Structure 1
Amino acid sequence: MNKLPNAFVAAEPGQRVESSGRVYRITHLVSIDSVFAIDEQTNESTRLRVDTLKPVSEPTTPAYGEGKSLKDLSMYSEEEWAQAQRRFQAIKPLLENPIRTRGDAEVIARQAGVHAATLYKWLKTYQDAGHVSALVPTKRGPRAGTRHLESEKEKLIANVIDDEFLTKQRQKAQDVIDEVMRRARLAKIDAPHPNTVRNRIKMLPIAETLRRRGHRELARNKYDPIRGEFPGGDFPLAVVQIDHTPADIILVDEVHRQPIGRPWLTLAIDVHSRMIVGLYITFEKPSSTSVAMCLSQAINPKREYLAELGVSGEWPVWGIMNVIHCDNAKEFRGAVLERGCEEYSIDLQWRPPLRPHYGGHIERYMGTIANQIRKWPGTTFSNTTQRKGYNSEAEAALTLKEFEYLVVEFIVNVYHQRNHSELKMSPKRKWELGILGDATTPGVGIPPVPSDPHRLQLDFLPFFNRSVQQYGLQIDRINYYDPVLDPYINSADPLNPKARRMFFVRRDPRDISKVYFFDPEANSYFPIPYRDIGHPPMSAWELKEAQRVLKEQGQRDIDENAIFEAVGRMREVVAKSVQKSKAARRQATRTPKAVVERPVAQAAPLADADYSIAMDDDPFAQPIRPFDDVSVSR
């Protein structure tokens, strides 16, 4: 695992860290979740939990996110981000080889087309910052790759390169230039300079260019990552598989203890040790939010999470994984997830469609947890034959929170502790050996701890581009305001004074009563509440449903007040129907918990208003599709 000194805190001997406001220097690794350290003021040795460690606040070492490193991931252009990725791929062999020599660096530098000194500069920049975005070019003046041609000329060059250069015919650069000139004459536009065409060709990604020009084998040998000897991961967090499944159980609501339906589980498993590294449980069908919540929990320590659930035991798993292996489903694809993974140097891999399945790990654990769930009241079993004579809804007794407690209790205190048939030891013991090593095999060391868990979660949440108006921000017709926005009201784009400046805003779909505004001057996120703080919290699902109802009623001018009035009426209908309708009880779970303490003011229902909710019950049995095994380099 690469060292990320600012975004993450490395638990290594000699490392200076903070804990409970005091500065320590680590002397020894005690276990997978604790170290011995010396207090720098008292010179006394003490034992510290790894998940309590923070980076030392030093003026010469900016914390993660200060300076350009905290720029929102989505603010970089495609060209800037591609350049950062190319630089990271160039230094990756150096990061993976701690005993590298100057000769090794010079060979890699020649392959990357740069001087060895430049390669070392990139390496230092990455190690100082701890994340890929630090490698985005920051030279004064026009950035590398900045294009000044008119769009029609750029399009002309791109088309000719695609038609003539990126083919197995392997045309030369001069052939491309000649064709550009010819097409420019036909289009009656000024031809671009030949050097401009040559520069566009040089900017092409090398590996992809080789593949397009028929050198697939050469591209794979030179630029594809070296794969490990064994399928799957051969050390902790080498490969993590993630997938969803509907749980074979009916749950009840927390108020009336009446059946709601089946929850969805999103689970992530470490292939090497079979430890569960993260999970997320919800009544909502799988979405990018489910993936984001599961991943952020997987990377962050879980001590506080266990305390909130009331689960006694240890879950000493955290840190950045090398590879995430997942399904091709749409919730695993998208710019937010992909760029979030790239920022933390995570290789996001999708299972190729129509490939033979050779086993896998996550689906086998899904079977393990399913067998346990079938022992709990309200189980639906795996098919109708097994369920015959058992009324799942009548026997249902667990709420979502109680179900989550039992799932985590089983994971932490049963599954992680008991002998695994394939490993010949418990998953926790396998994890410990991989981290700390033994007399014959060295471990990879304790994974660095995230220094800002909340920021990490934000990096995987949906985002919006918005300008700041006098009323603040508006997203989906809901207004947000805080004095932190005042300096940016009606501000112009620094690069285009005639255009409004756009800012990045993140939102958690589960509770949209606040959004997170990225302040480019402070280089940080700030929570921005509703402009009208009297409005109740609501979920993005409730917002969408209220807008649907209003449109069906023929309302054209849908404003914020109309939306919250509709939400109030919807909740009133739900409140009256929860004892009769399973769909209504499930809809009630979409209301943020804060609303329970501050209910929505009652509003008179509109005549003939349709507040029915499209809530098809989940099918009782869905096959779990297995993953292919993957291999990874250490």
Structure 2
Amino acid sequence: MVAVRIGMGTEVSVGETIYAVRRCLAGDILQLESEDDGQLVKIPRPELAFSVANGEASIIVGGRKHKVLERQDLSVLPEKDRDELRRRLAYVKLVEKPRVAESGAALVKASIEIGAAQLNDPKPPSVATLYNWCKLYRQAGGDPVALVPQKKRRGNRKRRFSPEVLEILQAVINERFLVTSRPRPTDVYSAVVVEIERLNAYRPSFDQLAVPNLRTLYREIEKLEPYTFLRGRYGKHIADKETRHVGKGAFSSRPLERVEIDHSLLDIIAYDEDLDIPLGRPTLTLIIDHFSRMPLGFYLGFEAPGSASVMMALRNAIGTKEWVNERYPDIEGAWPCYGVPEVLVTDNGPEFHSKDLEIACAQLGISIQHNKVKSPWSKGVVERIFGEINRSLLCDAPGKTFHNKDARSENDAVGEASVPIALLEHVLCKWIVEIHARKMHEGIQAIPIERWTEGAETFPPRLISDQEDLNVLLSCFKEVRKIHPKGIVIEGIWYSSKKLTELRNSSAKDIQVDMKFDPTNMGRIHVRDPRTNTYFEVPALNPEYAEGLGLWPHKIVRKCLRKMGARKIGPTELAKVKEHIHDLIQETAKTKKRKRTTNARIGRFRESSSHAPSNEDRIVEQNTSYEISFDAAPTAEEEDYRDDLVEDDDFLADGMRRIQAVGKDDL
């Protein structure tokens, strides 16, 4: 870049058209002539200067045939090149502004002598060299960039090898080198040699193709574009990830406008105090507000990532958080986040494409936004907080695991595990309220809890009208069920109530109804009344067994009974089998105590089968004539809810004979 004074003959580029200044008219108006068609244009000098300053026009410096090809920032040149530039510029300026009364070759010789003395230069340039520097400088319109050493342009400009050899090199690179098995250049070089020898066998002796050396193959590989190299060697996903454009990212202007959800296995082995065994790494399903970076809710436990964990986390996020201070009085401060989100950003896990979630979000007015496959950066807010939790919250916790093999080589995470899952929930809530919420966040340049509070005052969160309605919405959806005289059966558990019987008797023909249930509590279901399009609650006929029992441990019990060949069993015998499985869990756990194994299935069973606190206000209809059916073969209408439970569960395979023996005695 060089300063230019606009005068006669100065060339100006406007878009793709080049104009030359032909005259300077009165009033400081320039007359420009188009190079294409000779059209004359008048423009005031200040207006042209404004266009150049805004980048709408540019002044062509020096002759276009000899102009500098690249605009360089001289400050980034290596120190050696900058010193050489200053040396050349000093000699050139002695010629441009002579100190002696000479001209031509005599001026150049005298300038060299003066410059060598001033610079103490032991190797001054020759007359021809200095003449060439002056020529480049003048052609560039006095731009010093023209004097920058062009070391990269030294050497032979023509390719040494014929086009046929270069085509062979490119073919071998594309077919043998750019593959996901990632061979070395030395591994594919032999293919180049063999192919050239094959072609030379059909060519006359005077027209033989030269065999390039290995270094030539390396140079051709170095010329590959980064995306081409990465896609061939590592696949499209890695190439897109490494060469993607990183922009500003998603924007949100208010709380709950955009929330992100994801699952992660925590880097810690949880521990069961009662059984004195490690249980495995718990799953954390977290929902976070993009605007304030405040977590809205979570689920922490051993439930595998699925509809159940998503529903529980969403229910926790929408509700208020008074339970945090009630359950953990030592936490200083409140967790003020609640409300119904506007957009829920997810990845492409099957649980986020479930019909249960889609229907619940549609009724709550939540839009679901699925990101591209294998693009975690599209919801980087929730991904980042997982990293914070594992680094800062669990950094020195006993039982911490490591992703890096070398880092965990001396670490016995299973043997050191001593943190119960309840304590993990406690410290997670404390970390959210007392640390994360009050610490300056670099991404938003604000304190999360303050940003939430300010945003919620301007844009109050949306609320749900009724908590019971929310419990219905965030339950798993079952398409239809037939109402039998005994009620409705789900996974062998019967549900009935007076209102359900009334609904069945309201129609002369068999009636099928929509229903929903919570997979974490089989004690009750919600049935939709087609007459009013509203849901009502129907309790289980055996609340002592079903209340607080999750779907997963219930399937374990059913599996045991099918192994025993039982078709029908009373509530007393059912309770005995359930308790026997619980005892078997403890005995199995003792045999594996403190070993280098984890028992995540036991943790999930204990978590899902713990009974919910009793509610004295709840009235359950008394019915002493019921039976619970456990058919050995599943019915067609139950097939979609039946898991493929593994045959070698620790707490089943180790003692199946004893369960069968108890079952036969009870029967």
Question: Under a length normalisation based on structure 1, what TM-score does the superposition of the two structures give?
Answer: 0.52
Structure 1 residue 458 corresponds to structure 2 residue 472: yes
Indicate conservation of the 8 Å contact 1:473/1:480, yes or no: yes
CA contact (8 A) 2:260 2:379 kept: no
**CA distance in structure 2 between the aligned counterparts of 1:398 and 1:404, rounded to whole angstroms:** 10
Which residue does the alignment assign to 1:613? 649
Q: Which residue of 1 aligns with 2:268?
A: 249
The residue number in structure 1 matching 2:37 is none
Aligned AA (1:395): E
Out of 382, 385, 388, the residue aligned to residue 365 of structure 1 is: 385
How far residue 476 of structure 1 moved from its aligned partner, in angstroms, is 1.2
Q: For structure 2, which runs of at least 5 residues remain unmatched after alignment?
A: 1-247, 593-597, 615-645, 652-667
CA contact (8 A) 1:373 1:379 kept: yes
2:491 aligns with 476
Deviation, structure 1 residue 256: 3.1
The answer on 1:542 being equivalent to 2:553 is yes
Question: Within 2, Cα distance between the matches of 1:253 and 1:380?
Answer: 17
Cα offset for 1:595? 8.2
Report if the CA contact (8 A) 1:550-1:558 is conserved: no
Q: Could you tell me which of 322, 326, 333 is aligned with 2:346?
A: 326
Q: Equivalent residue of 1:531, what SS?
A: coil
The equivalent residue for 2:528 is 518
Please report how far the alpha carbon of residue 279 of structure 1 lies from its aligned counterpart in structure 2 after TM superposition.
Answer: 0.7
Mark the CA change 1:491 to 1:468 in structure 2 (over 3 Å): closer, same or farther: farther
Which residue number in structure 1 is paired with residue 256 of structure 2?
237
Q: Which runs of 5+ in 1 are unaligned?
A: 1-228, 437-442, 598-609, 616-634
Q: Which moved more, 1:448-457 or 1:419-428?
A: 448-457
Query: Does 1:290 find its partner at 2:309?
Result: yes
Do the aligned residues in 2 keep the contact of 1:466 with 1:502 (CA within 8 Å)?
yes
User: Which of 398, 402, 414 is the matching residue for 2:423?
Assistant: 402
Aligned to 2:586: 575
CA shift, 1:385, in A, is 2.3
Contact 1:323–1:348 (CA under 8 A) maintained in structure 2: yes
Is the 8 Å Cα contact of residues 380 and 392 (structure 1) preserved in structure 2? yes
1:539 touches 1:592 (CA, 8 Å); kept in 2? yes
Higher helix share: 2
Deviations 1:184-234 (A, max 9, x none): xxxxxxxxxxxxxxxxxxxxxxxxxxxxxxxxxxxxxxxxxxxxx972323
SS in 2 for 1:243: strand
Contact 1:479 1:560 in 2 (8 A): no
Q: Which amino acid letter does the alignment assign opposite residue 572 of structure 1?
A: D
Cα deviation code 1:437-474 (max 9, x no counterpart):
xxxxxx3x221332322321320211232233221221
Tell me how far apart the structure 1 counterparts of residues 341 and 334 of structure 2 sit (CA, whole Å): 20
Work out the CA distance in 2 between the residues paired with 1:434 and 1:386. 42
Q: Please list, as runs of the form range in 1=range in 2, the aligned pairs for 1:270-349 lying within 5 A after superposition.
A: 270-310=289-329, 311-349=331-369
Superposed displacement of residue 370, structure 1:
1.0
How far is 1:611 from its partner? 7.7
Mapped to 2, the partners of 1:358 and 1:447 lie a distance apart of 24
Instruction: Give me the whole-angstrom Cα distance separating, in 2, the residues matched to 1:542 and 1:435.
Output: 41
CA deviation string 1:365-384 (max 9, x = no partner): 11111112223222113333
| Other structure's SS at 1:448 match | coil
Q: How far, CA to CA, are the matches of 2:347 and 2:439 in structure 1?
A: 28
Q: TM-score, normalised by structure 2?
A: 0.50
Q: Structure 1 CA distance, aligned partners of 2:604 and 2:613?
A: 14
1:526-559 residue CA offsets vs partner (Å, 9 max, x unmatched): 4333213443543211122233344455x37466
Distance 1:337 1:559, change over 3 A: farther
RMSD: 3.0
- Report matched runs for 1:375-386 at 5 Å: 375-386=396-407
**Structure 2 CA distance for partners of 1:488 and 1:303, relative to 1, 3 Å:** same
Corresponding residue for residue 482 of structure 2: 467
Which amino acid is 1:586 matched to? Answer: G
CA distance in 1 between partners of 2:610 and 2:562 (Å):
27
> RCO greater where, 1 or 2, for CA within 8 Å and sep 6 or more?
1
Query: What is the rounded CA distance, in whole Å, between the counterparts of 2:304 and 2:260 in structure 1?
Result: 19
Contact 2:552 2:605 in 1 (8 A): no
Shift of 1:525: 3.9
> Does the CA contact (< 8 Å) of 2:268 and 2:400 recur in 1?
yes
Alignment partner of 2:503 out of 488, 497, 519: 488
- What does 1:23-102 correspond to in 2, within 5 Å? none
Could you say which residue in structure 2 is the equivalent of 1:509? 519
Give, in angstroms, the shift of residue 357 of structure 1.
4.3
Distance 2:251 2:268 in 1: 31
Other-structure match for 2:609: 592
Equivalents in 2 of 1:360, 1:508: separation in Å? 31
Distance in 2, matches of 1:591 and 1:230, equals: 39
- Which amino acid counterpart does residue 268 of structure 2 have in structure 1? I
> How big is the shift at 1:506?
1.9
User: Does the CA contact (< 8 Å) of 2:517 and 2:524 recur in 1?
Assistant: yes
Gap change, CA 1:268 and 1:384, over 3 Å in 2: same
